Structure 1
Amino acid sequence: MSDSEETRTDPYAIRKRLPEPETFARLREAAGMTPRSFEGIERGLPHSLYGVVAVHEPTDEVVGMGRIVGDDGTVYHISDMAVHPDHQRQGLGTRIMEHLEAYVEETAPPNAYVNLLADVDGFYEQFGYEETRPASKGMYRRTE
């Protein structure tokens, strides 16, 4: 191998795109996340502001994802962060978040509200996120 050839030891690549609806549903299920209807997935994904996928290059399989939804001005919601359990503990969640954070830093105007619902303690804090209580509280409801 010549000096100009690069040795690649990292089998993962982060690509700026959204997952296919089937992949989105599969990753959410594998990660133990609440399922979404396929109709909702198909309707919702195209309305994302930005998304990335983690690809296991030897198999070309999408093994992780994250996206941002919102109005691209006042509110940015980090959503659908998932890494397949077989590929966790490889730093993929961190790499996905770094790409999402870079999008926000490059595009969000001053005082934009960036939020997320965390289901992993201690992960999002490294990116500057903090609990909203007591100033506010997160709430939700699901449609039937």
Structure 2
Amino acid sequence: MIRLSAGLATMLLRPNGKSFADAFRYGVLRLFSGGQPDDANATETGTLLCEISNGGVLFTPGIASGGLNFMLGSTQLLEKSNFETWKGNPVASGNLGWFRFYDNALGIGASTTAVRFDGSIVVMGTGDLRVSHLDVSTGVPMEIEFFEISQPLQ
């Protein structure tokens, strides 16, 4: 289940707030082992297995280089930009459990102001990020070929 941080919800609800796509312009995706935290304000749990950036470039907070972007898909849908290759090199071996997508500031740890969202990772079935396999190993690059966020009408 996708969980928004309080910082993201506050930003989106402000009269002069950003769009979801703008909030995550040049963001970064981190993949963790274990179970998803109860909310996106909580400290990261599990082991950081892989950081996904555009082209696998080292991500640096506050810099556009290596940052990920969304593009408008069909109605009520944002998806991974077709002009980017979302990939990374695992920093640890293990089984994927959940992800956290951070804005370009990369606010880590417990926070009610950091702009980020969490979700589950699955191979098949109901989940927020589908991958071809849950096991990752150092030395074996990962690529995210498909990622979308939908906004239901009800």
Whether the TM-score (by the shorter chain) exceeds 0.5 is: no
Smaller-chain TM-score range? under 0.3
TM-score, normalization: structure 2?
Answer: 0.25
More helix by share: 1
Query: Whose radius of gyration is greater, 1 or 2?
Result: 1
Structure number with greater CO (CA < 8 Å, separation at least 6) is 2
